[in-house]
Structure 1
């Protein structure tokens, strides 16, 4: 299937590692010109060296609206416009979840500011360019904590991203812009070995046992890779996915024990 992405201009935030980097690689492999965005200039440059095709790197902090607007202006100035935005910049999940009495306002604010308001800032900055040309795609990377309990802050931020997505889809849809949210679960990235080692050390179990438990939580009984999540995102960012907008797409290998309709 030709995804019709050749020559499309894409911005990917959180592109220096993990799912964001895998998405940048996937879009570039389909012929898109990718603007890779992250806060750390050195990490971003190293990541860009692993991406095929044409890339542009821009350092920006999505918690700062001025930084976001400057990033979009630079991307549009260099590429002549923007067709795709993938919001993937967020505080890493998967660490120890504090009990209610230890959940701080500051931690929740930081989660919300980066993932929800950060996504809003980026969408707000690119939307006028997309609506003016009559086409665009925005893909928000959220997480399966939106569909299950276990992390107060994780659930709040991910549900909020889904709500943001649906609202953006309704407003921007008449102008030819589709918006969708993707919910990964546990994903194999460069952070996974350290995460598993930490959980093993805290629980007194072996790393093999911890990995097996994490894998068993999905219908596939294995941990999906960042590249497999990126495959889903690349399709949803393409013109071939025009019929999908406003919806939440699970990409965690199957969320066992839950029914969504």
Structure 2
């Protein structure tokens, strides 16, 4: 299937590793020009060079801290100047959240993952609405539907609520806004979380990962590229019928029925 992304211009925050990098790869493979954004300038530049060589697409790396208004403004100006505009925004930047701590991380998570997403939306969507076409995909997580942790649930529910409001605001002007909820995904952050849980509980790494897999309908942990394939579709013109709603990309959470 041709996703009709050739010639589109995308920015992916949290783009130097994990789901963000996989999304950047999927979009570049479909012919989009991609800006990877991360706080680490050296890392994101190296990953952009790697991805450009791999796909043949225009890929740039831009350093920015989405927790800071001025940093997001400067990043947006740089990306728009270098790509000539932005058609697709994938909000993915977030602090790594400890798997064993509670509410102490809430302020950081809200500022980076919730306000940070909104900062990027406000920076990039004016150009999209002017051209009457755009896509915003917000990466949240299945903690929006599960009582895993107070902080995890609050941040992800907030992103889902933000998505619905933005979709209603921007949809009539040609910009679709969606949210994806990954579950257990084999990223660097998950590996770190598994290690933390193993140390805290005395269980083996294999046992911790098996507990994740046992909660998933397909019986295994999802790979970043599998999440990225769904995001690439949502970024395409073919996804016009989906706006404001959540798409779960966790392999199927057992038991719950959402309708």
TM-score, normalising length: structure 1? 0.94
1:235 has 2:233 as partner? yes
**Partners in 1 of 2:122 and 2:221 — Cα distance?**
34
Residue matched to 2:18: 18
Residue matched to 1:76: 80
1:88 corresponds, among 71, 86, 92, to 92
Instruction: Using the TM superposition, give the Cα deviation of residue 202 of structure 1 relative to its aligned residue in structure 2, in angstroms.
Output: 2.1
Runs of 4 or more consecutive aligned structure 1 residues displaced over 4 Å after TM superposition:
none
Instruction: Using the TM superposition, give the Cα deviation of residue 29 of structure 1 relative to its aligned residue in structure 2, in angstroms.
Output: 0.6
**Partners in 2 of 1:178 and 1:191 — Cα distance?**
29
Residue matched to 1:64: 68
**Partners in 2 of 1:232 and 1:195 — Cα distance?**
24
**Partners in 2 of 1:187 and 1:179 — Cα distance?**
23
SS of 1:232's equivalent in the other structure is helix
1:33 has 2:37 as partner? no
Number of positions where the alignment pairs a residue of Structure 1 with one of Structure 2: 255
Runs of at least 5 residues in structure 1 that lack an aligned partner in the other structure = none
Contact 2:184 2:221 in 1 (8 A): yes
Deviation per CA, 1:87-139, whole angstroms, max 9, x where unpaired?
Answer: 000112362133xxxx33xx211110001100000001111100000100000
**Aligned pairs (5 A) from 1:202-241:** 202-241=200-239
C-alpha root-mean-square deviation of aligned residues, in Å? Answer: 1.2
SS of 1:70's equivalent in the other structure is helix
Runs of at least 5 residues in structure 2 that lack an aligned partner in the other structure = none
**Partners in 1 of 2:162 and 2:195 — Cα distance?**
35
Relative to structure 1, the CA distance from residue 32 to residue 164 in structure 2 (aligned partners, 3 Å threshold; closer, same or farther) is same
Residue matched to 2:174: 176
Residue matched to 1:111: 109
